Amino acid sequence: MEAIITKNLTKRFKDLVAVDNVCLGVGEGKIFGLLGPNGAGKTTLISMLSTLLKPTSGDGWVWGQNIRKDQDRVRRAIGIVFQDPSLDDELTTYENLEFHGRLYGVAREVRRKRIKDLLTLMELADRERAMVKTFSGGMKRRLEIARGLLHYPKVLFLDEPTLGLDPQTRRRIWEYIRNLNEVEKVTIVLTTHYMEEADYLCGRIAIIDHGRIIALDLSQNLKNIVGGDVISLLVLHPQEVAKLLSPFPWIKQVKIHDGVLDLSVEKGEEKIPKIMKIIGGNGLEVRSISLHKPTLEDVFLHFTGKTIREEEGSFTETMRMRMRAWRKR
């Protein structure tokens, strides 16, 4: 069964199309990833799926329930961990969970046992009576995930589950997410702008940019689209070198971003000497050269002509300009 289906799901905020005709399906029991830069529309998309935002057009179903007509049933079927912290710092671990359990009408006897089991699953059992304000960022995140699972949801939305955590803590959260997907058999939709996170955790991944899904497949299939290996060249005159290399048929794609030249080739290690010879033979200089297997960043670059980081840079810059203009008014 498909746990989630959307058909041309769209959300507009005045002139801005935050989510643009999104069509996707998420299989039961899977971990599905929404990967995209800041402002891509990830949170807006899951806000519609969790009935917190009304779609402008299009439609969606979560666990067989319609997000427009069966909002209560959708809400009962889902758990959410929001991007922004949402625990009550002045309460204990137990109180936070107890409150949520009551809100969702989980019976008292069930609640006790469920809280205990989830705290064990997230390795927080010894913190049951501790105040949340004494917690580290990683512990808070784990508690939020436990809370999202308390009422036995079929689908769990995790919006940027490791944002702002250090790499080590992030890895641990990944293990918890994998584990609970297995133990709880819960379908998970997670948003992230960390490629490694999507790569490590997710089966199918939708790459989203400016509200649109630009690619959707298993990570490996997405990487196969880029094809072969990626050779990155740091050169003094990237435009000139690009022009020089483009005609060679064994170079499948040439892209310049951030002053770096990326070439897609088969058997990269054999092509490096050839490339060096061509560039050197034309009196141009190579500062550095590296070879890697395609990553999801290369996939993003392939479809958008930019890296996720560059896209976020331009987004931040746009926001800054908007803020400046707004202040001047």
Ligand X SMILES: Nc1ncnc2c1ncn2[C@@H]1O[C@H](COP(=O)(O)OP(=O)(O)OP(=O)(O)O)[C@@H](O)[C@H]1O
What is the binding site for ligand X (CB under 6 A)?
Answer: 13, 16, 18, 36, 38-44, 83, 193
Contact in structure between 211 and 42 (CB atoms under 8 Å) = no
Is residue 208 within 8 Å of residue 36, measured between CB atoms?
yes
- 43 makes contact with Mg ion (CB under 5 A): yes
From 25-33, 61-69, 78-86, 212-220, give the range in contact with Mg ion by CB under 5 A.
78-86
- How many angstroms separate the CA atoms of 8 and 31, rounded? 22
H-type helices in the chain, by residue range? 42-49, 71-77, 93-103, 108-121, 137-149, 167-183, 195-201, 219-226, 238-245, 268-281, 296-304, 308-328
* Residue 153 interacts with which of ligand X, Mg ion, none, CB < 5 to 8 Å by class: none
Least distance CB 257 / ligand X (angstroms): 20
Q: Does residue number 307 form part of the binding site for Mg ion (CB under 5 A)?
A: no
DSSP 242: H
Q: Which two tokens stand for residue 157?
A: 């939305």
User: Which residue bears the tokens 């050839």?
Assistant: 274
CA end-to-end distance (rounded Å), the chain: 53
Find the shortest distance in angstroms from Cβ 307 to Mg ion.
19
3-state secondary structure of 27: strand
Nearer to ligand X, 38 or 66 (CB): 38
In the complex, least distance from residue 84 CB atom to Mg ion, rounded to whole angstroms: 9
Closest approach of ligand X to the CB of residue 286, in Å: 35
Q: Which is nearer to Mg ion, 80 or 230 (CB)?
A: 80
DSSP conformational letter for 252: -
Q: Quick one: 209 or 262, whose CB is closer to ligand X?
A: 209
* CB nearer ligand X, residue 21 or residue 83: 83
Which of Mg ion, ligand X, none is residue 60 near (CB under 5 to 8 Å by kind)?
none
* 54/133 with CB nearer Mg ion: 54
Q: Is-contact 47 41, C-beta < 8 A? A: no
What minimum distance in Å lies between the beta carbon of 54 and Mg ion?
A: 18
Residues found near Mg ion in the complex (CB under 5 A): 42-43, 83
